[in-house]
Amino acid sequence: MREMLEGGDLDYLTGDYLAELTMLILGRDRMKDPSRGYAKTFLRQVEDCLGLALDRGVKIVANAGGLNPAGLAEALREVNDRLGLGARIAHVEGDDLIARVAELGLDRETSPLTANAYLGAWGIVECLNAGADIVVTGRVTDASVIVGPAAAHFGWARTDFDRLAGAVVAGHVIECGTQATGGNYSWFTEIEDMSRPGFPIAEIHDDGSSVITKHAGTGGAVSIGTVTAQLLYEITGGRYANPDVTARMDSVELSDDGVDRVRIAGVMGEAPPPQYKVSLNALAGFRNEATFVVTGLDIERKAELARRQLESWLTARPQELEWTLARTDRPDADTEETASALLRCTVRDTDPNVVGRAFSSVAVEMALASYPGFTLTAPPSNGQPYAVFTPGYVDAHEVPHVAVLPDGVRVEIAPSAVTQALTDLPEPVLPEPLPPTETVKAPLGTIAAARSGDKGGNANVGVWVRTDEQFSWLVHALTVGELERMLPEAKGLNVTRHVLSNLRAVNFVIEGILGRGVASQARFDPQAKGLGEWLRSRHLDIPQDLLESSLEGHA
C-alpha cells in the first residue's frame, strides 16, 4: 500500500483480498471469535498509510471486510481516532447469506460454514458519492472494487453496459496485482528486471476504455503479453458475468500505448444475469498425508510394498485413501535426490481419529520393516480439517445489498432492472488452417504462452500466441482431443474449449480436475497454477517455419 501511494499519482487505491480459500480461512476465524472474519493485514496496512492517503487525496476501496465488513469498518474508525485523522469510513454489506442457506436451498449438497453472494459495484458507488475516504466490502466480485470507483467518478448509469464492461475488464487485469506486470508469466525471461515487479494501475476513461500501466521505476513489465495472460486467468468463454454487467471478452482489443502501457478498448457489455453466484465453503472432514522417498532400483516394487504394508497395518480404513507415485527419479543419477521418486499417500475421513495418529503412527512404524532406503519427507501430522467449495446461485432480488454511509445512514441497493440469461456464444468463424508443411516435434511453449488457475473444482488453461499465422495453426492444432492427449489427467473429465480470436487465444475449462476445490487438496497442484506450464512443456508437431520465425523474433 505504501509503495503504491509513494510511487506516483493515484485517484483510488483498490485491493482484492478474497480468494475462495480466503473465505474459508475467515470462516474458521469467525468460529473462534465472532468479532473477526476480516483481513487483518488490510487493517495493519491502513494504520501505516492512512495519513499518507488522506494527504494525497487517494480514496481506498477494498473487499477486505470478508465475512464482517461492519467489524472492519469499526476497527478502522478506532485506528482513525487513535491517529487523530478525519477519514470518512463506509462499508457495504448484505452478501452474507449463512443464516438463510436452508431458506434459499443452498444447503442441499453440504452444510456450509460460509455462504456469500457476489455483489456488484453500486453499493461502493453510493459510499463514494457520500464522500467516503475508505470503503470496505464483503464478498463483492473481484472487479467490483475497480468498477465502483470508475462509475462514481464518471457518473455512469446502471445501463451503461459497454462502459461498465470496460471497467470490469480493466479490473480483471489488475485484481491479481503483479500477475499483470510479469508475475506468473510464461515469457518471464524476456523481462529485463523481475527482481520485484511493480503493481499495475488502470487508467480508466469515461468511455470505458483503459490503459494498464505501473509506476515508473518499478520492476516487471506491462506488455500485450502480460495483459493477455491476466485476461485469460480464471475465465471460461466469451461472456464474463458480473452482477452489474456481462463483459464480452471476445470483444477486447489490445494495443501498445508506449513503454509499460497497454490500451484496452472495444469492450462490449450486456445486461447481467438474473441470478447472483454464491460462494459456499463447508468443512468436509479431516485429511492427512505421508510422502515416502523411494530411491534407486526397483522403484515400482518398493512402492507396491509400501502400499501393501500401510493398508494392511491400518486398524480402520479411511473413507478416502489415494496413492500417487511421482517418478522424479533418473537412471544412473549423479545425486541421491535425482535418483529418488516420491510416493504420496493422502487420506480423508469425517472422523479425525481415523486419519490422525492411527494413520501417522503406521507410516512411521513402517520405517524398519519396509523397502530398502525407506524415509519420509517429513513425519505425518495428526490430521487437519479440510473444506470443499461449491458454487450456488440465487435470484438477485433475494440478496440484500446495503451501503452503510460514513454518517451511518443505510441505503438499499436494488439489483439491475435489466437482465439477460447467460448463454454460451456460438463458435466464431475460425481462420483458414495453414497449408500442409514440414513439422517438428517440439514443446508447445516454444511458440505459445499459457496461464491457468482454479474455479472451485474446475481449472482453466488459456493458451495464446503472438501472430495471426501462429494462431491459424494453434486454433486447429490444439483441440479438446489434443489437450487430453497432452494432459492425460484431463481424460474422462468434461473439457470445453472457447476461442477468443481477438486475443489469439484458446481457453479450456477442465471440470472436476481439482476435486472439490483448492481446500480439499485433491491434486499435487491444488490451484492448477502450474497446469498451463505443464501443457507448454508437452511436445506436439509444430510447423518448422513457425518455430524458426518464433526463435528469430525472440532470440
24 shares its domain with 98: yes
145 shares its domain with 1: yes
Q: Give a yes or no: residue 431 inside a domain.
A: no
5 shares its domain with 152: yes
Res 111: pLDDT: 86
Q: Give a yes or no: residue 278 inside a domain.
A: no
Q: Give a yes or no: residue 536 inside a domain.
A: yes
The CA distance from 523 to 521, in Å, is 6
Secondary structure of residue 142 in the 3-state scheme: coil
Res 283: pLDDT: 86
DSSP symbol at 48: H
- Sign of CA pseudo-dihedral 471, 474, 479, 483: negative
Strand partners, 342: 293, 326
164 shares its domain with 224: yes
22 shares its domain with 111: yes
What is the domain-level CATH number for residue 81?
A: 3.40.1400
Domain of 207 in residue numbering reads as 160-270
- pLDDT tens string, the chain, 555 residues long: the values are 999 999 999 999 999 999 877 888 898 888 889 889 999 999 999 999 999 999 999 999 999 999 999 999 999 999 999 999 999 999 999 999 999 999 999 987 778 999 999 999 999 999 999 999 999 999 999 999 999 999 999 999 999 999 999 999 999 999 999 999 999 999 999 999 999 999 999 999 999 999 999 999 999 999 999 999 999 999 999 999 999 999 999 999 999 999 999 999 999 999 999 999 999 988 889 999 999 999 999 999 999 999 999 999 999 999 999 999 999 999 999 999 999 999 999 999 999 999 999 999 999 999 999 999 999 998 888 888 888 888 999 999 999 999 999 999 999 999 999 999 999 999 899 999 999 999 999 999 999 999 999 988 899 999 999 999 999 999 999 999 999 999 999 999 999 999 999 999 999 999 999 887 766 666 788 889 999 999 999 999 999 999 988 776 665
Q: What stretches of 201-267 show up as alpha helix (H) in DSSP?
A: 224-231
Q: Count the neighbouring beta carbons within 10 Å of the beta carbon of residue 56.
A: 14
Q: Give a yes or no: residue 266 inside a domain.
A: yes
Res 553: pLDDT: 62
Res 521: pLDDT: 67
97 shares its domain with 243: no
Taking alpha carbons only, the member of 438, 508, 501, 439 closest to residue 471 is 501
4 shares its domain with 106: yes
140 shares its domain with 108: yes
Note whether 310 and 363 are within 8 A (CB): yes
Q: Give a yes or no: residue 430 inside a domain.
A: no
What is the domain-level CATH number for residue 293?
A: 3.30.70.380
> Residue 379 — φ and ψ, nearest 5°?
-60, 140
Cα 456–chain centre separation:
10
Q: Give a yes or no: residue 460 inside a domain.
A: yes
Q: Which of these three, 237, 270, 303, is where a domain ends?
A: 270
Res 348: pLDDT: 94
Res 519: pLDDT: 65
261 shares its domain with 289: no
Q: Which of these three, 211, 238, 270, is where a domain ends?
A: 270
102 shares its domain with 204: no
Specify the pTM. Answer: 0.93
- Total domains, the chain: 4
Res 430: pLDDT: 95
154 shares its domain with 38: yes
Q: Give a yes or no: residue 94 inside a domain.
A: yes
164 shares its domain with 257: yes
Q: Give a yes or no: residue 279 inside a domain.
A: no
Burial class of residue 323 in the structure, from the number of CB atoms within 10 Å of its CB (0-12 exposed, 13-18 middle, 19+ buried): middle
